[in-house]
Amino acid sequence: MRTNARGRCERPYPRTVSSSPTTSDHGTLARSLGHGQMAMIAMGSALGTGLFLGSGAAIGIAGPAVIVSFAIGSLIAACIALCMGEMASRHPVRGGFGTLAAHYLSPFWGYLSRWMYWIVTVCVTGAEIVACAAYLRYWAPGVPLWAGILLFAGIIVAINIASVGSFGVIEFALSSIKVIAILVFILVGLFLVIFGLPDAPAPGLSNLTADGGFAPNGWSAVWVSMAIVMFSFGGIELLSVTAAEAKDPARSIRTAARTTIVRLTFFYVLAIGVVVSLVPWRDAAGTGGDVETSPFVMVFDRLGVPGAAHVTNLLVLIAALSAANANLYAGSRMLQSLAADRLAPVALSRLSARRVPVRGIAMSTAGIVLAAVLAITGVAGVFGYMMSLVVFAVLLVWGLILVTYLAYARRRDGLATFRVPGGRVTAIVGLVGVVGVFSTVTVFRDMQLAALVGVPALAVACVLYATVVRRRVDPASIEAALAEADDLRAGSEDAARR
């Protein structure tokens, strides 16, 4: 091991891997995910309740110009996904972007990005499971909330404990249902916009300018709505986290990074475009907090679909269950990588006989337990704080991913099989976008709440690192993990060529 001028470790990419908790004592994660599963998992995680229920709030802020908000959001997400995809295809390492931040920036940034992302996954998992239980009560109001929480928590824990292969198959199926539903919605919606029905003439694009113009609240509202819009793209980080369990990481991540962002752009922009074209924006606006106020229900009602709310309730339940399942997976893998690098209790790095981090899964259910207690006791406003922390942490993680890419691009070798179009310029564009979204903290109450919760959490993480964790950092473990990942990637590429 040699060090550079700044004292950071530079690995000479050895062909033999040194011992580490995950590579020798505790086994390695199973590589069972195909590129189709990886693309669908990442896209399914991003296609969640933020689109089905939360889009109404964004429409209320920006009006029809929310289409522009989602288009800009897609561009920012594309920059993040592509940069992350190139790094992950070159280094399909456990811990994903967090381990790469530790290598290319410093162990502190790797520690911070992974712990903040673990907090994201814990909060999202808990909130989505409680949402599932609430959606179940739409059909069975007599079922206690705690019973629904236990039911759905048991389902996702069982899926995650079984094996990564089982997880990939089930998450692929859940995500496929959402994707097919949105695709059908878009196609039927476009037909209504253009051709209409015998008793409902085609509105064309008239609703986009009928009530106050395309941007009725001004173009600054497009910027403010970005805080809500970008939350909808949360989940694209899974491309990096799943890299450590990909069958053919170079090919899988390259394919997933390219196809996921194209599909997300297509689905989000067209779906929202259909909504504001068919339904006057003031009608579509609202809190989006329950099924009846979802813009999608309004469109289904206009289609004359019997039980439109029931159809949407089924979709949002599947969306929430899929998101909870994916976030429990991501949280357990992130915690396992932290433990393997001695940034969390080492016992959490141990794997089961099926090479699943069962202890990490158990710890990552903390959000479910917390959310269940708060939901059952009726503590007001706590979920708002939890989701605000998610927004703050996700923006921080995205920014660190892009900064890591800039450092990676300076030291990039010739072994990368996938290059980001535009390279560092693309990363800078994405970084400017992330900073622009975070700057809404100056005017948007929800972002101010995010900073109120997120800044103290960040301060606590920094203090813990300085006083406890810093002494335990083992750069050799991080370097060994990268060496192992690089060897496995090279082996899969050799096998593919043969």
Does the structure show a pLDDT above 80 at 478? no
Categorise residue 352: left if φ over 0, alpha if ψ from -120 to 50, beta otherwise: beta
Domains, in order of start, for the chain = 31-482 (1.20.1740.10)
Distance of CA 106 to the CA centre of its chain: 24
Q: Quick check: 124 and 329 in contact, CB under 8 A?
A: no
Higher pLDDT, 34 or 70: 70
Does the structure show a pLDDT above 50 at 120? yes
Average pLDDT, the chain: 80
Task: Give per-residue pLDDT as tens, 157-216.
Answer: 998 888 777 777 888 888 888 888 888 888 888 888 888 877 778 888 888 988 888 999
Residues whose CB falls within 8 Å of the CB of residue 332, separated by 6 or more in sequence, listed in order: 160, 357, 360, 361, 363, 364
For a pLDDT cut of 90, what percent of the chain falls above it?
17
Tell me what pLDDT residue 108 has. 92
Q: Quick check: 160 and 28 in contact, CB under 8 A?
A: no
For a pLDDT cut of 70, what percent of the chain falls above it?
82
Q: Which residue has the tokens 């091991």?
A: 1
pLDDT band at 290; cut points 50, 70, 90: low
Does the structure show a pLDDT above 70 at 378? no
Q: Give the least confident one: 127-136, 435-444, 489-498.
A: 489-498
Side chain identity at 396, as an amino acid letter?
L
Q: Give the least confident one: 178-187, 296-305, 338-347, 461-470.
A: 296-305
Tokens, residue 142: 């007599």
pLDDT band at 18; cut points 50, 70, 90: very low
Does the structure show a pLDDT above 70 at 53? no
Mean pLDDT of 42-55: 69
Closest CA to 445 of 402, 351, 381, 357: 381
56 has which bridge partners? none
Task: Give per-residue pLDDT as tens, 214-256.
Answer: 999 999 999 999 988 887 787 788 777 777 677 776 677 777 7
pLDDT band at 384; cut points 50, 70, 90: low
pLDDT band at 397; cut points 50, 70, 90: very high
Tell me what pLDDT residue 433 has. 95
Does the structure show a pLDDT above 70 at 318? yes
